[in-house]
Structure 1
């Protein structure tokens, strides 16, 4: 049995509203155990005997079939989430900046996004691995930051999702506690 973290993209924004209690109920019909939802922004931890790719496939099927949501999720093992938190060089709590981790299910898309970020003036970012990068945004200006605007383009929608480092730490802790 492996502990996993599942990060949903675009849930409870832009008209796609799924109650976490309803999601948890729907997931009961799938090969997952100890399912827990965290926050309302689409973070789930669970256990499964399936591979990460199969967890992704089954989870997306649940979202499509149960909610009519053409879903995109990134699935990581609990140990990988912990390693990414440890590798992030930015602070979880800072009054001047907010730290983010962008995850991708498609390495080529993350490569492209990272290269595009390198072209932005004042952009501070670091690659954490083939599936993740960390970046900083000014406190209070995340959505208006050039990188946030870049990463929200439709081109990256199917393969990337971003979480505040504080959220990522909560997911790490919940996945480890399963």
Structure 2
């Protein structure tokens, strides 16, 4: 069976790249991954593999590029890592505010993203290794200093953002 992993795809079903979750599940299962499940329509996958996270990342990206013809970038986390990300959220949950985890490929990416960047008056963030926790009022997620920095082309292969509710659903699927 192998170890369970959460695979977070970046940039699908929010821009020009459209992938049906049923197709995504079938392609990954055909590539040899086990227990493949998709969650929501925003590129969240739980799967089992007899490999480490870096190997899973490389294999998934290769399969997606070949089958769907786009520059696929994913971030892979183990079940304990996903649970730790949720437990580490530092701001609590407040009505009217989005609670996000910006997942990155490495801690250096988080440092680069926030380097010399001042938060907008309505947002706050906190770095935690390769995760950047972010809180912002609902409806303003695309208008803040951090969101504008994250939208830069150089970060496309390095980051993806999920709200805490999505992370909790992924954690539940991981067990």
Q: Where on the TM-score scale, by shorter chain, does this alignment land: which range?
A: over 0.9
In the other structure, the counterpart of 2:74 is: 73
User: Is the CA contact (8 Å cut-off) linking 2:46 and 2:170 kept in structure 1?
Assistant: yes
| Superposition map of 1:18-167 within 5 A | 18-92=19-93, 94-117=94-117, 119-122=118-121, 123-129=123-129, 131-167=130-166
What are the superposed Cα offsets for residues 95-117 of structure 1, whole Å, 9 maximum, x if unpaired? 23111100111432221013244
Q: Between Structure 1 and Structure 2, how many residues are aligned?
A: 173
Structure 2: unaligned runs, 5 residues or longer: none
**1:140 shift after superposition:** 1.8
Distance 1:116 1:83 in 2: 27
Structure 1 moving runs of 4+ over 3 Å: none
What are the superposed Cα offsets for residues 2-51 of structure 1, whole Å, 9 maximum, x if unpaired? 11000000001221000000011111222311000001100000111111
1:31 alignment partner, SS class? coil
1:28 alignment partner, SS class? helix
Distance 1:64 1:152 in 2: 21
Distance 2:55 2:116 in 1: 31
Distance 1:121 1:141 in 2: 10
Distance 1:78 1:114 in 2: 27
User: Is the CA contact (8 Å cut-off) linking 1:125 and 1:136 kept in structure 2?
Assistant: yes
User: Is the CA contact (8 Å cut-off) linking 1:88 and 1:128 kept in structure 2?
Assistant: no
User: Is the CA contact (8 Å cut-off) linking 1:100 and 1:135 kept in structure 2?
Assistant: yes
Structure 1: unaligned runs, 5 residues or longer: none
What are the superposed Cα offsets for residues 58-81 of structure 1, whole Å, 9 maximum, x if unpaired? 000110111102100000001100
User: Is the CA contact (8 Å cut-off) linking 2:10 and 2:159 kept in structure 1?
Assistant: yes
User: Is the CA contact (8 Å cut-off) linking 2:75 and 2:160 kept in structure 1?
Assistant: yes
User: Is the CA contact (8 Å cut-off) linking 2:101 and 2:162 kept in structure 1?
Assistant: yes
Q: TM-score normalised to the size of structure 1?
A: 0.91
